[in-house]
Structure 1
């Protein structure tokens, strides 16, 4: 049996990469908001705090305790942000990730209702603390879901970046807004990704947006043949090599929240290009870790990951 085939299946559990995820889920389920606040307050300056609201937003039923907390403390920025994130999560769950043509009117109505609730909560949070990154980051989600337009989304991003330059979660959310599926363009999406890469210190996650832009572009094409032809263009390959060198393969890279997704985007793209050596570097760095995005978008996630990993590691 080859070494690649002997490897265990990919691990899609976020807490495997970030053990604090498991603890945050448990604290939220127990309504232990004092501990959650203590953890958030302990994060080093410059930390992308959006991951806290993202993790807690996925806890089923947590909205009930969060609504009680906001009712008791209507000026609490953390409470407002966490409830806003949960309302967004519920709304997107109703809408689903399907194209707009596949979403019913009833789904859209419920989706927008939850996003409007979230918007009001998050407006209050950013009015109280204009530098609160997690609240502004969530407002990029409401801007997209409520179709407030490119200019409003960029305005919100700019307000956040005044205080938090190279904020990866916000950059990734604005990138989605700039894609054609949300009334943007590929020129805008790729241009923004390059802007973020060149404006960030080397070793930051921001260069990974170049990979995410190419993932989105490839997904928008009709079939595997078109995707392969697009990705195998020499300029695409060169952009990915540079972006990986500036981010996840840089000696200063420190694996912040979201690194598994970015590393996976490089892995799948280099695999589809046929550059096994580059793909292998990213699979080695992942060491079996995986995330829903991008793998689930290119077929059955575990099978896709395992197949590409086996091909890449057969080169080494």
Structure 2
């Protein structure tokens, strides 16, 4: 698993955040790397990769306080506080999370919201703060209406924003107050509303994996192997990862991993095998964390072997 997804810019960012030097002295190099973002979606991608670096929260606030234009360090700080909040909450079901953990979780998300709204005011054309507000809002349970407005704000500034669509798909899942019907409808409409070759076809595969995950043992396999589900998976793959206009950029390996698992579970071994071969061992945390949250490489290897790749 490569936290930089093979992107040299993201690798440089992460190295700068953890490298030697004073905390404030790290920022010029980081800001320089962030300035290489080509658009709003790209800035989101780079900041999210940086936000997963442990310890960033210890110094980024001071940088923002001292900066003549604090929008960029505040964006990084807000994104980091979201990641930091989810670390406190853990991935356990809510009933297994302590009151103290929830208090820390909500406190860190509240800081993130305040900082991200300030960024949105300072930089009204940026999609990134609205993307991170989607994640914070889900944790704070802001409700479907406000969550939808945050998603719409992100994609209005950056149409086709894949990460923003992924977050909205999670928002309309049953586990976050939506339903299977809402989830599948959102995924399909997003795919059909995008040009062929768009990565948004991945949403259809994610929706079927989420539905599979929600079924009881036995019923889950019957669901994912239903003929209509299999047809939809092939259609989505042909419109995205298998389309000649599909561009392998940023975290394209996540799209391939998602379809690889979906096809493997569906018993479509040849389709899964082709995707595993293209990946050449590149594992992404999602979707394999659903099978093993401690080491996603374990189910990746198991299913790769099962389908004969």
**Greater relative contact order, per chain length (Cα 8 Å cut-off, separation 6+):** 1
The interval holding the TM-score normalised by the smaller chain is over 0.9
| Aligned match of 1:14 | 3
**Cα distance in 1 for residues equivalent to 2:199 and 2:246:** 8
How many residues align? The count is 302
The partner residue of 1:114 within 104, 108, 118 is 108
When the two structures are superposed, what TM-score results if normalisation uses the length of structure 1? 0.91
Aligned partner (choices 280, 283, 288) of residue 276 of structure 2: 283
Between 72-81 and 98-107, the greater mean CA deviation after superposition: 72-81
Give ranges in structure 2 of 5+ residues lacking alignment.
none
Distance 1:100 1:168 in 2: 27
Deviation of 1:33 after TM superposition, in Å, equals 2.4
**Match for residue 294 of structure 1?**
287
Aligned to 1:44: 38
SS of residue in 1 equivalent to 2:181: helix
TM-score (norm 2): 0.93
Q: Any idea what the Cα deviations from partners look like across 1:59-91, whole Å, max 9, x if unmatched?
A: 121112201111112742211110001111111
Matched, 1:304 2:299: yes
Verify: 1:237 aligned to 2:230, yes or no.
yes
Aligned to 1:207: 201
Runs of 4+ in structure 1 over 4 Å off? none
CA distance in 1: counterparts of 2:89 and 2:52, whole angstroms:
15
For 2:85 and 2:68, the matched residues in 1 are separated by 22
5 Å-filtered alignment, 1:1-316, equals: 12-15=1-4, 17-30=6-19, 31=23, 32-45=26-39, 47-73=41-67, 75-223=69-217, 225-299=218-292, 301-313=296-308
Alignment RMSD (CA, Å): 1.6
> Is the deviation greater in 93-102 or in 110-119?
93-102
SS in structure 2 at match of 1:194: helix
Matched-pair contact (CA < 8 Å) for 2:40–2:157: no
1:27, distance to aligned residue in structure 2 (A): 1.4
CA distance in 2, matches of 1:63, 1:158: 28
Alpha-carbon shift at residue 171 of structure 1 (Å): 0.7
